[in-house]
């Protein structure tokens, strides 16, 4: 009745994947990540919420935005 071994966790993981499928689990993971990101942004103090110079609203640097734009044209 001790702690679960790696084999117990692998069996549980395989059963969960069979029940829900990998696509649904991937969607749940991305939804959870987006929820955590939104929570962190809402908890962050107001002075940190103001955008730093050189960053766009998505948090990317201006140089990255220019590079992305030039790559999409190529």
Domain ranges of the chain: 6-73
Max CA pair span of the chain: 61
Q: State whether the Cα torsion 11-16-19-25 is positive or negative.
A: negative
* pLDDT value of residue 43: 84
Q: Is 62 left (phi over 0), alpha (psi -120 to 50) or beta?
A: alpha
* pLDDT value of residue 50: 57
* pLDDT value of residue 33: 92
* pLDDT value of residue 32: 92
* pLDDT value of residue 48: 58
Q: Model pTM?
A: 0.42
* pLDDT value of residue 2: 63
Q: Using 50 as the pLDDT threshold, list the residues of the chain that sit under it.
A: 1
């Amino acid at each position: 009745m001790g702690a679960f071994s790696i084999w117990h966790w692998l069996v549980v993981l395989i059963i969960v994947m069979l029940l829900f499928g990998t696509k649904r689990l991937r969607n749940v993971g991305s939804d959870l990540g987006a929820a955590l990101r939104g929570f962190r942004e809402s908890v962050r103090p107001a002075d940190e919420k103001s955008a730093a110079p050189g960053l766009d609203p998505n948090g990317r640097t201006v140089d990255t935005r220019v590079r992305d734009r030039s790559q999409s044209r190529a």
